[in-house]
Structure 1
């Protein structure tokens, strides 16, 4: 059986020895009554209060300046100096199709004399070149040519504002809006960028692209742009001088295209092989006049009179039949075309014509 240990209360002398040893092993804290975490907080507060009033004011100013700079960067109010080699000017399909040589020379002279007064606009992107150009296409070309001419290193970098495309309604919208304000774009250039934006899936249709990109324009202006977008869609691959097409002439071409004139225009351009803008319009005008002659003339004070075309062949491609039906052959971007027009046409007659074509073309 284990022996019980007898517990004896310490004497006063023993207690004094224990307290003395405890004081030797415990750090000397200024406020021993506080818990350790409270002591740490108090010491931190004492260190902070040690800063002078001037130092605290300077710290507050620095924090305010940092917040203001961050906000300015986010809002696109900070101008950066970016190397030209880091900017892809073709990251977007440009709305401007040509650069006027005399205007570019004038711009280069101005930059050489006074520097660049208006920064270009870019956006961040993935890829080898971290920036894509939104606006400033001519300014970038002027800088490249000045560096090639002078070799001056100052033309290797350019002032730029980094924009957030989403905040601007999209990169294409931002580019178009900037050029609408600063540049004189032709209706053809406007129609072209609308079609390309629709083809890239930015907008569901070219018409919707016109409405969104040029919503600040009048209804009449948007209507004209839609007409020129049709010209680009159906004839853009064959036109060599479309920017020289006058507004009223372009509207005539668009009217003929809506009447089914694509094949005739393409044939006229291929046969004419125009070498300049004047010759190109001559080819287009012939076809436009053909369709204008076929249009029903409107007279005041009564029903419009219908003009009966002469029977037989009109040129090489149009055949007027005694039944009032007109046949037209041609070639468009999808292949050979035979068009049938006339009040005598009906679904049954068209089906019979298709059967005859089947019998003729099948082996």
Structure 2
């Protein structure tokens, strides 16, 4: 008969040890990974919010995506701090701002707010800290800035704006000009000026290309006139006081004279004094052009060409100019001091000088 073994109950220490070993084995066993994975997935899929709230979150995400897309395409009106907009990011096509019109605009904005937003483009690399450059709406931005400086009203510290993304530099100039052509026609000088500046800043190869690209809807004759005023800006722009008020006929005559090499004569005429009115400046230019008029060559019929010398401006305010025509030499006097008495004195002095000396 086999001898029976006597069983002993495990101690508390043995039970603790066995439990710990069992736990470690289960954790390492083949069932541990699927159970852990199922638990993790269940926790991830569990959404404590009700269905209605989950639908609102999904709608908000979709709305945000549409808003970002609309902003990128310039379809959303923004409210930007006026200090973040560089009004001179582009050279403006407008030369003169009418004071009375500006006052009316400020009064309108102060009463009813700004109805039409300005247009801006991003300038992330601006070293001065401007976030945006002004594309169109120079008068509106200036009016809002003037109102803020005057009233300190926080409502005028921001301005309604639409963000644009011009494809190229030529696009920004074209958009600015198109906006002003629609709202208020530019003068020929302003058109010529911006074409020259756009070419100088590298937006176009030359002024001719700038005129063609910036004014594509203009007739061939109109583009020719714009190029003539562009020449006036290049040669005389720094000397003219009222360039935007030059009449079309006068401007074409000036351009023709400049093409004939009259730049020096015209600049000397403008240097005599600073005109106080557009009419006075026009008269100064007309006198200079009179000295450059051509008379045909007798051998070819008509009036012979007149060779005009430079204008000599004296400290007394009188200017002298000589010219030669078919009949001889002419001395032209200009200035407020020039009158009949002075001319008679000068004629007598010339007679004395030209008389044969006494023998």
TM over 0.5: yes
Change (3 A) 1:221 1:310: closer
For 1:283-294, list aligned pairs within 5 A: 283-294=284-295
Per-residue CA shift, 1:314-345, capped at 9, x if unaligned? 894555699xxxxxxxxxxxxxxxxxxxxxxx
- Three-state SS of the structure 2 residue aligned to 1:121 is strand
- Three-state SS of the structure 2 residue aligned to 1:159 is strand
Partner of 2:352: none
Partner of 2:336: none
Distance 1:189 1:253 in 2: 16
Partner of 2:4: none
Partner of 1:43: 42
Distance 1:312 1:100 in 2: 41
Taking structure 1 as the reference length, what is the TM-score of the superposition?
Answer: 0.70
Change (3 A) 1:223 1:19: same
Match of 1:90 among 88, 99, 113: 88
Asked if the contact 1:78–1:161 (Cα under 8 Å) also holds between the matched residues in 2, the reply is yes
- Three-state SS of the structure 2 residue aligned to 1:91 is coil
Partner of 1:67: 65
- Three-state SS of the structure 2 residue aligned to 1:196 is helix
Change (3 A) 1:24 1:219: same
Moved more, 53-62 or 34-43: 34-43
Please report how far the alpha carbon of residue 33 of structure 1 lies from its aligned counterpart in structure 2 after TM superposition.
10
Partner of 1:338: none
- Root mean square deviation of aligned Cα: 3.5
For 1:9-48, list aligned pairs within 5 A: 22=22, 26=26, 35=34, 39=38, 42-43=41-42, 46-47=45-46
Distance 1:175 1:317 in 2: 46
- Three-state SS of the structure 1 residue aligned to 2:271 is helix
- 1:268 matched to 2:269: yes
Partner of 2:249: 248
Partner of 1:9: none
Distance 2:31 2:169 in 1: 62
For 1:135-284, list aligned pairs within 5 A: 135-166=136-167, 169-271=170-272, 273-284=274-285
Distance 1:310 1:25 in 2: 117
Please report how far the alpha carbon of residue 271 of structure 1 lies from its aligned counterpart in structure 2 after TM superposition.
2.9
Asked if the contact 2:90–2:134 (Cα under 8 Å) also holds between the matched residues in 1, the reply is yes
- Three-state SS of the structure 1 residue aligned to 2:181 is helix
Partner of 2:350: none
Asked if the contact 1:168–1:174 (Cα under 8 Å) also holds between the matched residues in 2, the reply is no
Asked if the contact 1:77–1:161 (Cα under 8 Å) also holds between the matched residues in 2, the reply is yes
Please report how far the alpha carbon of residue 147 of structure 1 lies from its aligned counterpart in structure 2 after TM superposition.
2.2
Taking structure 2 as the reference length, what is the TM-score of the superposition?
Answer: 0.71
Structure 1: gaps spanning 5 or more residues: 1-17, 298-303, 323-363
How many residue pairs match? The answer is 297
Match of 2:122 among 84, 100, 124: 124
Match of 1:110 among 108, 111, 119: 108
